[in-house]
């Protein structure tokens, strides 16, 4: 997606080979026009697949997931990183290890908002090792719901996440695929 790639080149900060800061337009400050374009792009790619819900892990995926849900005219689910203090009995739970933060967290989803009749599209901001997306898939499958696919804003193609998900038969659609990342270096995969 050229508009996203251009914004990454213009406003993204490549810290090192693992970290790309996009906080000025994706996760600390959100560019609403970009998010609308992203939501429309994901909706166009996944249209006609019978998607009943869009899901994301809090918090950086919320804006693009919401715009995707709006474009598809379906509800959005937020997978929480901390269990609720009052809803502990009515949750699906799984443990996810964050590559970026080097920590593990318990991912939760309320049983009240998902069923075996749901066909869910997962939206996330980054795909690196695929741990977060795999955890989201695992959680949704606990409800016996099906996975329509995974939409990613920025894929680090030099890391194993894409292969990890596609080997499970998951349709992964990434809007910006980075081939090389280093201090001050951002190179996209050539199509």
DSSP code at position 111: G
SS3 label, residue 159: coil
Q: 135 and 96 in contact (C-beta within 8 Å)?
A: yes
Q: What is the DSSP string of 23-49?
A: IIIIISS--HHHHHHHHHHHHHHHTTS
Q: Which residues are annotated as a binding site for 5-phospho-alpha-D-ribose 1-diphosphate?
A: 128-132
Distance from C-alpha of 36 to C-alpha of 16, rounded to nearest angstrom: 29
Q: Which residues are annotated as a binding site for xanthine?
A: 20, 27, 156
Structure tokens at 82: 């901390």
Greatest pairwise CA separation for the chain in angstroms? 49
Distance from C-alpha of 169 to C-alpha of 11, rounded to nearest angstrom: 34
**E strands present in the chain:** 13-14, 20-21, 53-57, 76-79, 91-98, 103-110, 119-127, 146-156, 172-182, 185-188
Q: Which residues are annotated as a binding site?
A: 20, 27, 128-132, 156
Distance from C-alpha of 111 to C-alpha of 93, rounded to nearest angstrom: 10
């Amino acid at each position: 997606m050229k508009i996203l790639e251009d914004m990454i080149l213009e406003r993204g900060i490549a810290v090192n080979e693992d970290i790309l800061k996009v906080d000025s337009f994706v996760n600390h400050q959100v560019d609403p026009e970009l998010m609308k374009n992203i939501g429309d792009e994901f909706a166009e790619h996944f249209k006609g697949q019978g998607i009943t819900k869009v899901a994301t892990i809090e918090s950086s995926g919320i804006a693009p997931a919401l715009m995707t849900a709006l474009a598809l005219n379906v509800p959005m689910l937020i997978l929480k990183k901390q269990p609720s203090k009052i809803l502990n009995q009515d949750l699906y739970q799984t443990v996810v290890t964050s590559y970026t933060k080097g920590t593990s967290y318990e991912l939760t989803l309320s049983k009240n908002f998902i069923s075996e009749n749901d066909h869910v599209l997962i939206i996330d901001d980054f795909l690196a090792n695929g741990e977060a997306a795999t955890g989201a898939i695992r959680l949704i499958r606990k409800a016996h719901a099906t996975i329509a696919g995974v939409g990613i804003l920025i894929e680090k193609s030099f890391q194993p996440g894409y292969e990890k998900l596609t080997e499970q038969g998951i349709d992964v659609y990434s809007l910006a695929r980075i081939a090389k990342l280093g201090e001050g270096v951002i190179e996209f995969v050539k199509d």
